[in-house]
């Protein structure tokens, strides 16, 4: 594995509960970390940097009571349109966070201050060009946004993307897109990824900040009900079709030309959008975070055991 031994020893399953606008909050992060999964939340989910400071203190206090919890990873939008970037970064530095995931832009402006406190930095990327730039900067990990990832997404095939990045990068690779259960998580590792990003299934948990209608829509949806739209943030995002259809005729929620690019204010003005990835086909009930992680871990271990059994049978057949 390319992840550090110190991190691997704190995980029950090689998974990150992906940061999701509006949905991810302290309750979800604490619940995930307690069960041995990296919890994450976008810093902009807190209304102000002061509230972010309060959230981080609350998370740290709760996890200090757990003998061996997984780390939590604040997600920082590094795009120039993020007016709170400097203040939120200073808050993360003050709290001495262990891991930060950067999104929508180059992590270069935040690398030095985070490295100064011993923080690892993962950057999410959607193309090989993005990956090459982040690698040149010296990031510790890459989150590969592939076709079918919920919310702001990529378009590359996950098989091809992981293999191409692994050829040129020996750091941590996180696969985002289509991680619907423990079997998919195991498959991601076989490909060469170290960790999986699971977002959509965590929306449909008791601890998420999603409302009941949103959770219910996820349970009822399949991957055929996921569409790409630029109306949230200004770049392609995977959303539930039922939510997009409801916005028809609303000028404020119109599609935006891809050439306009991302804008943080546009994302925040649509923070209640119902995003969802192709893994929505694996959502069949609203669960607690603990139950979801226990189920995923069981599926993951069973998939690994089946793989070992197949390999053993193949060796016996050759003999």
Residue-wise pLDDT tens digits, 15-58: 999 999 999 999 999 999 999 999 999 999 999 999 999 999 99
Query: Is the pLDDT assigned to residue 145 strictly greater than 90?
Result: yes
Query: Is the pLDDT assigned to residue 1 strictly greater than 50?
Result: no
Question: What is the reported pLDDT for 251?
Answer: 46
Contacts (Cβ under 8 Å, ≥6 apart) of 160: none
Q: Average of pLDDT values for 146-154? A: 90
% of the chain beyond a pLDDT of 70? 92
Contact indicator for 205, 292 with CB cutoff of 8 Å: yes
Question: What is the reported pLDDT for 3?
Answer: 67
Query: Is the pLDDT assigned to residue 316 strictly greater than 80?
Result: no
Contact indicator for 14, 185 with CB cutoff of 8 Å: yes
Q: For residue 243, what pLDDT band results from cuts at 50, 70 and 90?
A: very high
Average pLDDT of the chain to the nearest whole number: 91
Domains of the chain: 5-212+286-318 (3.20.20.70), 216-269 (no CATH)
CA distance 8 to 16: 12
Q: For residue 233, what pLDDT band results from cuts at 50, 70 and 90?
A: confident
User: Which tokens in the block code for residue 240?
Assistant: 């539930």
Strand order in the sheet with 226-229: 151-152, 237-240, 226-229
Residue-wise pLDDT tens digits, 155-197: 999 999 999 999 999 999 999 999 999 999 999 999 999 999 9
Question: What is the reported pLDDT for 27?
Answer: 98
CA distance 287 to 137: 39
Q: What residue has token string 């935040």? A: 110
Query: Is the pLDDT assigned to residue 97 strictly greater than 90?
Result: yes
pTM for the predicted model, two decimal places: 0.91
Q: Which residue has the higher pLDDT, 313 or 160?
A: 160
Closest CA to 158 of 143, 171, 140: 143
Question: What is the reported pLDDT for 242?
Answer: 93
User: Which tokens in the block code for residue 137?
Assistant: 């900067």
% of the chain beyond a pLDDT of 90? 78
């Amino acid at each position: 594995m390319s992840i550090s031994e110190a991190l691997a020893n704190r995980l029950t399953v090689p998974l990150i509960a992906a940061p999701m606008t509006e949905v991810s909050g302290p309750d979800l992060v604490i619940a995930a970390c307690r069960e041995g999964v990296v919890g994450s939340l976008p810093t902009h989910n807190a209304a102000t940097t002061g509230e972010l400071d309060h959230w981080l203190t609350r998370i740290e206090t709760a996890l200090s009571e757990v003998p061996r919890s997984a780390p939590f990873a604040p997600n920082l939008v590094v795009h120039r349109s993020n007016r709170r970037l400097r203040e939120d970064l200073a808050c993360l530095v003050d709290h001495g966070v262990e891991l930060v995931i950067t999104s929508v832009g180059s992590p270069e402006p935040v690398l030095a201050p985070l490295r100064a406190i011993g923080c690892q930095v993962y950057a999410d990327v959607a193309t090989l060009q993005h990956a090459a730039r982040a690698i040149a900067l010296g990031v510790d990990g890459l989150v590969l946004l592939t076709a079918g990832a919920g919310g702001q997404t990529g378009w590359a095939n996950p098989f091809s993307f992981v293999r191409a990045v692994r050829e040129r990068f020996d750091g941590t690779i996180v696969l985002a897109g289509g991680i619907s259960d423990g079997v998919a998580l195991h498959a991601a590792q076989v490909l060469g990824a170290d960790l999986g990003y699971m977002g959509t299934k965590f929306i449909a948990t008791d601890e998420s900040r999603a409302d009941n209608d949103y959770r219910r829509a996820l349970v009822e949806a399949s991957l055929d009900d996921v569409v790409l739209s630029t109306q949230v943030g200004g770049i392609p995002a995977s959303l539930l079709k039922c939510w997009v259809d409801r916005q028809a005729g609303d000028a404020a929620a119109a599609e935006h030309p891809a050439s306009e690019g991302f804008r943080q204010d546009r994302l925040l003005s649509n923070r209640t959008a119902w995003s969802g990835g192709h893994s929505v086909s694996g959502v069949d009930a609203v669960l607690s975070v603990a139950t979801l992680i226990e189920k995923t871990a069981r599926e993951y271990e069973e998939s690994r055991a089946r793989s070992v059994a197949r390999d053993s049978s193949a060796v016996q057949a050759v003999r």
